Structure 1
Amino acid sequence: MRRTARLLTGTALAVAAAGLGTAPAYGGDTTRLELYPSSVVPGRQVTVNSAACGDGGTAAGDAGAVGAGAFPLGPTEGAASGRFRVPPSAQPGTYEIVATCAKSGRRVTGDLVVTLTAPREQVYPRGSVKTGVGGALGPDPVQTAAGVAALAVAAAGGTWLLHRRARGDGI
């Protein structure tokens, strides 16, 4: 019994010690720049976030690889954030965007993909489908009324037949 207790205690202490060296769950990825959107067409704006500079930290961004030049990253909640515009003359490809934290001098990078076609957005259907069958508010109210009347007659006839069968009169 003691051996099992020691084994469990040792395992729990090892797991707790391993957990102390990990990054907090709320901190985000502090090794890379987060780019939104990560794939963009020339002329569009890109938002850059980095948790590497700490809470309230600032950084100097460099998007010179894509031709946008330097941009500032200001303090936001838990990260440094900034924006730059991809120039209309940018060629398709993958570009490295760099930010250097003001206090620590830490350098973080992220990849930006420039494409000539914009990513497709979800398109939802709208309107009616031409199936040949009218709807409840279809184009011909006379046909709609005739259909409702036919359904009512069928329901009444079915009910009458079931009632006769239940009484034992037969069909």
Structure 2
Amino acid sequence: MPRRVVDIGCGRGVDDLWFARQGAQVIGFDYALRGSLPVAGLAAEEGVDLELRDLNLCELRSVLTEGARVARLPGRTVVTARHVADATDKVGRAHLWRVCEMMLSGGGRLYVEFVSQRGEDDPFTRDNHLRTLAVRRVVEELEDRGATVVSRTVTEHEGPDVTTGHRTGRLVVEWQR
């Protein structure tokens, strides 16, 4: 279990609560924390180490402030970003990669997940307003920021409401210092 987990785009915070219950120091970021308030209450009642903070990827000040704050924390960090890159535009992605690079300046890994191909009948991507991103494009953007992709996979998803499922790209990324 990593000592510190930073979850960018934490949504309701369910994953964050799980990590905190396992003993990790967890910081969950989202642009709208309203959905995670119930989890914040549970974390406070249980006394687990979970902090929820605002992060707006469209505002450089927010990105630089939070990136610097996490970068100052001692030790290695694991950053997760599930369906954030595909939920924002090119500027938001550039800021996402920047904040991840800053947060991982002391070492650690980024685990990023995004829709790489939309399914034929795909309520997941439609309902979540996700854009498709080519894996090669995301890798190029990260490498342009000095990152090293240590693992890449693409998984096809099928389900009862999906005739041809979407594909999800998953990357494990490091910034070598």
Q: Which range, TM-score by smaller chain?
A: under 0.3
TM-score, reference length from structure 1: 0.24
TM-score, reference length from structure 2: 0.23
Larger radius of gyration: 1
